[in-house]
Amino acid sequence: MKDEQNKIDTVSSSTQSPPPASEDINSHWHGVVRRRSFLKGLGMAGATLLPASALLMTKAKAQQEDSNRSGDRSGSLTRGDAAILRFLGAAEILESDLWIQYWELGGTQDNEFATATGGNPRYTEALQILDGDQPQYIHDNTDDEISHAAFIRAYLASRGASTAELDLLNGPHFRTLPGSMATGSSGKNRLTNLMQLNVDTSFWTRYRIDNENPDLDPNFTFPQAVNPPEGLRIGRQFPETMPTSAPVPLVTSPTT
């Protein structure tokens, strides 16, 4: 019985005994080598990327400094977003300059956004042949364009972006084109030229001629509502010689 117990103790002891010391050392050493190799690889990769990242940071800083000097500061906006907003702001300034010229001659006259000029009665009368609400439309659209330009500039400024270029465009520097000398014009110099335009007024007739359809016959030439066939020609004497009655009928009967 005693011999059998000794055999069991011997088997149990041999089963639970740890591996030889040499195997444990080798396993531990291989783990150390693998970790050191991994860290060494990271170090080499970091050393490789460092010059490139430093170069990019230096270039970005230089570009930002150049932007600040050139008035292209974007503040908390990206440079691309700031540039897009400046482009839109410039377009609104140009549009407001164009619409102010219309308003001075034919818009509803008040001092809401500019000093009223009194308008041009004959021009206003001619516009009302096309649409009785045209003077109010001109007034409201002019007000909208001015407010659009002001809003974009204010937003850029609120984000710390430069508005120097918009301010320059909105000032007197580029307003070098002579305006209309007709009654009602302020006589100020302009950004845009309203003196050499041919205005297509066929929009008024294309939806009032029953027997023609612009979608079905794209080659049909619709007559001008004012001063046919050239359209509304705006020049130095305009609108003093503007006709005050429509030269074409409101509706024509379909051909049978």
Question: What pLDDT score was predicted for residue 227?
Answer: 61
> Which tokens is 128 given?
């009302």
Structure tokens, 17: 């005994």
Q: Is 234 helix (H, G, I), strand (E, B) or coil?
A: strand
> Model confidence over 169-195: pLDDT tens digits?
999 999 999 988 899 999 999 999 877
* Strand partners of residue 116: none
User: Tokens 């004959």 — which residue?
Assistant: 122
pLDDT of residue 194: 74
Q: How far apart are the C-alpha atoms of 178 and 161, rounded to whole Å?
A: 33
pLDDT, one tens digit per residue, over 32-44 is: 556 556 545 545 5
Mean pLDDT value across residues 73-85? 94
Please name the residue ranges forming H helices in 131-197.
134-158, 164-170
Taking CA 16 as the corner, what is the angle to CA 14 and CA 20, rounded to the nearest 5 degrees?
A: 75
Residue 245 has pLDDT above 90, yes or no: no
Three-class SS of residue 177? Answer: strand
On the question of pLDDT at 82 being above 80, the answer is yes
Residue type at position 23: E
Average pLDDT on 202-215 reads 81
What count of Cα atoms within 13 Å lies in the side-chain half-sphere of residue 162?
15
Interatomic CA distance for residues 244 and 238, integer angstroms = 13
Specify the pTM: 0.56
